[in-house]
Structure 1
Amino acid sequence: MIVVTGATGNIGRVLVRRLLAEGAAVRALTRDPARAGLPAEAETVRADLTGADALEPLLAGAEALFLNLAAGGDHAAAALTEAAVRAGVRRIVLNSSMAVTDTPDDDAHHIARLHAGLERAVRDSGLEWTFVRGGNYATNALAWAPAIRTSGVVRDAHPDARGVPVHEADLADVAATALLDRSGAHLGQAYLVTGPAELTVAQQVAEIGRATGKETRVEQISEEAAAEAMAGPHFPKEAALELVRMFGRTVDAPAFPVSDAVEQITGRPARTFAQWARDHAADFS
């Protein structure tokens, strides 16, 4: 049995289907099973990881756990790690972040600090572990969908900021390989998982235009305005501004190299952003 947290998220939903296709028994955790829309073959279980309910029953009989900080926050993820030890879970595959560098810089960056702390908790648990360090998710581009649908104009502080966007299906495939691994080849590994090519924000917007047949462009705005637009109830403006400024630094040099981890782990090349845009064209139409 493999337990998947964040089962209705972008990565989790694909991961559930991938694991089922491989013949694995899957317990998918979600706040609202009635609206989850997951395959009937999965055991879909109601779970509010931020609540006061005991966590061990969610993990009963499980051999492995896919842990996603986004499913309940860092405190919930740490508590679930402790519960996994008590429940006899053998392995954790953590959806971490490429912001983690295993250097003192991790303590100076909001996103790196959260994920590095959780990585430490998983390491200290004594369980088998694999870290999937993504972060420049292609699905971040879905934030542009309302603007592209209405005007085709995306407003961004750094149109020339560079990244290597990764398809959520590739992250799910890497996670599935680690969860199902019987050879031990992926134990104790922290994989930097990227897409196959570096692209600027403007190039990504143009790819979405090609996939949808819409005329698209990027209009530059201030870092302050970009942070205001990004901030929300669970993402303070200070953290958003830190992220916007980090993107700005990639105009002159990419923050991360292109990784071949997807091909090395799954045996096939990473999906391109153009393919992601085609897969999600309906979201922008």
Structure 2
Amino acid sequence: MTTVVTGATGHVGRLVVERLVEAGERVRAVTRDPDVARLPAGVEVVRADLAEPASVAAALENAERLYLFPVARTAREVVASAATAGVRRVVVLSSGAVTSGHDTTFHLPVERAVEESGLEWTHVRPGEFALNALHLWGPSIRARRVVLDPYPDQSGFPVHEADIADLAATALLEDGHHGVAYTLVGPHRISHREQVRAIADAIGHDITLNQVTADEALAHYRAQGGWAAAGAEFLFGFHTYDGAPMSADPPTAPAPSTARQATAEPTRTFAEWARDHADDFA
């Protein structure tokens, strides 16, 4: 049985590939650049791009299962190609923002495309990625052992990408998950201040947390570029998840995690995540 993994070189997709290989499955990994994929031996790596549905259609031939990275604009075409190719089960990398109602334009259309296809489906809806800390704070921690943050006591339930991959692989490999949307968050509420402390403990160096205004943080992370610049207006309360101006309404608490009913395993703590990524911050 062949499983196609789209977004196979991403932070979660790469781990999904590894879980499937460890289970003895045949894996076809979809990436835009196979030359730098660096995936496990035995994985069939194919060049395709979810922004170009025709390229993905060829990668889906003779596959039975699909891990679908979310690209709303082409989701219906990709899912239609999957059904034509004989795929019967799709696991969608979605978002906890769908559960909370904050995402109506990015992940939700992908979910609906799959649900309306007639294929077996499972949605994996992670909340805040612990990886956000690396993308946001990594450059300044590596360079100066400093973090700039306007809301050091703001807290959340960041989730380890390995837990997301575990859940996705379980839904791909096992029966009994059809028609379920699993919301996945970390096991404990933890503030930004506590996250910085956990990273400091993991790398064995003090990290200074400087509280700044939201405007100062926005300017800093825009200048940093990359993921931080792209997400800064949302992260610091200027725009909603869907890009609309932020209202004065207070943020809602994250939905409780439902993942343990699928994997029967406790989710990893932020401290575990920090230790796993210590080299990335050093």
Per the normalisation by structure 1, the TM-score is 0.86
Q: How does 1:53-92 map to 2 (within 5 A)?
A: 53-69=54-70, 73-92=71-90
Whole-Å separation in 2 of the counterparts to 1:206 and 1:235:
20
Q: CA deviation at 1:35?
A: 0.6
Please name the residue that 1:200 is paired with: 191
Shift of 1:256: 0.9
The alignment status of 1:263 with 2:255, answered yes or no, reads no
Seen in structure 2, the aligned counterparts of structure 1 residues 233 and 171 have a Cα distance that, compared at 3 Å, is: closer
**Partner deviation per Cα, 1:125-161 (whole Å, 9 max, x = no partner):** 1111000000311111112111111222111222112
| Residue aligning to 1:122 | 114
Please give the alpha-carbon distance, in whole angstroms, between the structure 2 residues aligned to 1:269 and 1:187. Answer: 22
TM-score with structure 2 setting the length: 0.87
Aligned partner of 2:201: which letter? Answer: R
1:99 match: secondary structure: helix
Equivalent residue for 1:181, pick from 174, 180, 193: 174
What is the letter of the counterpart of residue 186 of structure 2?
A: G
Residue 62 and residue 225 in structure 1: after superposition, are their counterparts in 2 closer, same or farther (change >3 A)? farther
Change (3 A) 1:207 1:234: closer
- Deviation, 1:52, is 6.6
Structure 2 unpaired stretches of 5+: none
Cα offset for 1:229?
4.9
Q: C-alpha displacement at 1:235, in angstroms?
A: 9.1
Q: How far apart are the structure 2 equivalents of 1:186 and 1:193?
A: 15
Aligned-pair CA distance for 1:175: 0.3
Letter in 1 for 2:121: W
Residue pair 2:53, 2:74 contacting (<8 A) in 1 also: no
Within-5 A mapping of 1:28-67:
28-51=29-52, 53-67=54-68
1:219 alignment partner in structure 2: 210
Partner of 1:23: 24
Conservation of the 8 A alpha-carbon contact between 1:202 and 1:217: no
Q: Distance in 2 between matches of 1:188 and 1:146?
A: 40
Look up the match of 2:130. 138
**Cα distance 1:116–1:159, how it changes in 2: closer, same or farther (>3 A)?**
same
* Structure 1 gap segments, 5+ residues each: none
Is 2:49–2:56's contact at 8 Å kept on the other side of the alignment?
no
Indicate how the Cα distance of structure 1 residues 95 and 52 shifts in structure 2: closer, same or farther if over 3 A, else same. closer
Any idea what the Cα deviations from partners look like across 1:65-91, whole Å, max 9, x if unmatched? 11112xxx3213333122112222101
Comparing 75-84 and 42-51, the one that deviates more: 75-84
Per the alignment, in what secondary structure is the counterpart of residue 61 of structure 1?
Answer: coil
Q: 2:4 aligns to what? A: 3
What are the residue-to-residue correspondences of 1:218-237 with 2, within 5 Å?
A: 218-230=209-221
Distance 2:125 2:5 in 1: 17
